[in-house]
């Protein structure tokens, strides 16, 4: 009996190859694993410089509807994020008043990010954390105990210290919180805020924390704000030159108020600067309020599945940037 083999057209083989490749592609955490700060850069398990790009959720007490698995999954599948920032509110009806309620929201996001194999930034979203050191330590000890074994976890211990807080005050707070985290989780990345809403990174670079490993420093800006241009970039450039590893844990397309204009040219310049310096970033924010930096229009579903009509101009811009810049990532 003669067995005949039918020839498969080359184009079909190419399609099958591409499909098999996409199915086998690694997710961000599968590819990069545990993150390490080395020579002022964020590197992965292979020692390669890694750039994470994603979205920040809004204050947890005011936009709780987006702290869920479906929102996370949509941001992973459609926006191609490799990281999500869970901004746990501390004051104004947040953790200080309702600790269990706010923790439950953040833990739901952490669980969803781990399931999706992306990174998750656990943000103590507090402008006055120096006054809440005890509470911050208790929270981060619980997070480290519950999740510290996972390489997905990134701790952000102090969101935007005020300009009335000196670096020495802030540094003392960081030393206390980092010490307690490291007793439980010796490895995962910890992000540290600096004075003046995370803009005084040049000051922090002159006297960084010592005696701890795997620390980076947060840098924030609002791309269209006239006060957040060359002079602010110069402060960050100084910090980088001094060897500090920077992580842009929050930036927005509008002005520092969260509202104002959306200047595409200024925003493009900031994105270009981050790419040139290989800085990881999260954008403010997944929210459906009437505000320039909100990515969603009022009434957008908390389950994802957003149409283009659900997105603000800023939301459309950021989605496209994420889909373009992250497209070379395996699994993207």
Output the pLDDT for position 9: 54
Would you say 271 and 234 are in contact if contact means Cβ atoms under 8 Å apart?
no
- Among 102, 156, 250, 255, which one carries the catalytic annotation? 250
Q: Any idea which of 24-38, 122-136, 258-272, 275-289 has the lowest mean pLDDT?
A: 24-38
pLDDT at 15 over 80: no
Residue whose entry in the numeric block shows the structure tokens 């953040």: 106
Angle between helices 133-147 and 167-184 (to 10 degrees): 30
Whole-angstrom distance, CA of residue 77 vs CA of residue 327: 12
Output the pLDDT for position 332: 42
Whole-angstrom distance, CA of residue 173 vs CA of residue 31: 34
Overall CATH class of domain 27-325: alpha beta
Q: Please give the average per-residue pLDDT across 35-44, as a whole number.
A: 98
Whole-angstrom distance, CA of residue 260 vs CA of residue 279: 25
Query: What one-character-per-residue DSSP string does 132-199 give?
Result: -HHHHHHHHHHHHHHHTTSTTEEEE--S---TTS-HHHHHHHHHHHHHHHHHH-SSS-EEE--HHHHT
pLDDT band at 119, cuts 50/70/90?
very high
Comparing CA positions, the residue from 92, 106, 40 lying closest to residue 240 is 40
**pLDDT tens sequence across 201-260:** 999 999 999 999 999 999 999 999 999 999 999 999 999 999 999 999 999 999 999 999
**pLDDT tens sequence across 156-197:** 999 999 999 999 999 999 999 999 999 999 999 999 999 999
80 by DSSP, 3-state: which?
Answer: coil
Q: For the chain, what is the largest distance between any 2 Cα atoms, rounded to a whole number of angstroms? A: 89
Q: How far apart are the first and last CA of the chain?
A: 47
Whole-angstrom distance, CA of residue 116 vs CA of residue 110: 10
Q: Any idea which of 99-103, 181-185, 326-330 has the lowest mean pLDDT?
A: 326-330
Q: Any idea which of 14-23, 120-129, 165-174 has the lowest mean pLDDT?
A: 14-23
- Tell me whether residue 250 is one of the annotated catalytic residues: yes
- Among 160, 255, 291, 329, which one carries the catalytic annotation? 160
Output the pLDDT for position 328: 54
Whole-angstrom distance, CA of residue 283 vs CA of residue 279: 13
Q: Cα 187 to the chain's mean position, in Å?
A: 18
Reported as type and span, the H/E element at residue 84 is strand 83-89
The domain limits of the chain are 27-325
* Residue 109: Cβ within 10 Å count: 25
% of the chain with per-residue pLDDT over 90: 90
pLDDT at 8 over 60: no
**pLDDT tens sequence across 286-325:** 999 999 999 999 999 999 999 999 999 999 999 999 999 9
């Amino acid at each position: 009996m003669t067995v005949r083999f039918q020839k498969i057209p080359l184009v079909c083989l190419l399609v099958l190859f591409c499909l098999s490749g996409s199915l086998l592609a690694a997710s961000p955490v599968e590819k990069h694993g545990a993150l390490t700060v080395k020579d002022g850069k964020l590197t992965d398990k292979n020692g390669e410089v890694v750039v994470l790009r994603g979205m920040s959720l809004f204050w947890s007490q005011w936009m709780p509807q987006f702290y869920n698995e479906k929102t996370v999954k949509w941001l992973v599948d459609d926006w191609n994020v490799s990281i999500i920032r869970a901004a746990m509110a501390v004051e104004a009806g947040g953790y200080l008043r309702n600790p269990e309620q706010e923790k439950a929201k953040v833990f739901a996001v952490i669980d969803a990010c781990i399931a999706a194999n992306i990174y998750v930034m656990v943000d103590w979203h507090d402008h006055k954390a120096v006054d809440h050191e005890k509470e911050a330590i208790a929270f981060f000890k619980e997070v480290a105990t519950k999740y510290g074994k996972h390489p997905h976890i990134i701790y952000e211990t102090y969101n935007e210290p005020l300009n009335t807080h000196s670096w020495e005050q802030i540094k003392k707070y960081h030393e206390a919180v980092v010490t307690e985290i490291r007793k439980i989780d010796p490895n995962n990345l910890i992000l540290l805020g600096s004075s003046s809403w995370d803009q005084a990174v040049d000051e922090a670079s002159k006297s960084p924390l010592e005696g701890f490993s795997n620390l980076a420093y947060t840098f924030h800006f609002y791309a269209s704000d006239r006060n957040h241009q060359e002079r602010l970039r110069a402060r960050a450039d100084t910090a980088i030159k001094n060897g500090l590893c920077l992580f842009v844990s929050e930036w927005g397309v509008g002005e520092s108020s969260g509202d104002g204009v959306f200047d595409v040219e200024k925003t493009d310049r900031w994105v270009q600067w981050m790419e040139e310096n290989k800085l990881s970033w999260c954008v403010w924010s997944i929210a459906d309020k009437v505000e320039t930096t909100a990515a969603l229009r009022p009434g957008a579903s908390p389950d994802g599945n957003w149409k283009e009509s659900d997105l603000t101009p800023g939301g459309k811009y950021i989605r496209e940037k994420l889909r373009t810049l992250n497209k070379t990532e395996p699994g993207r």
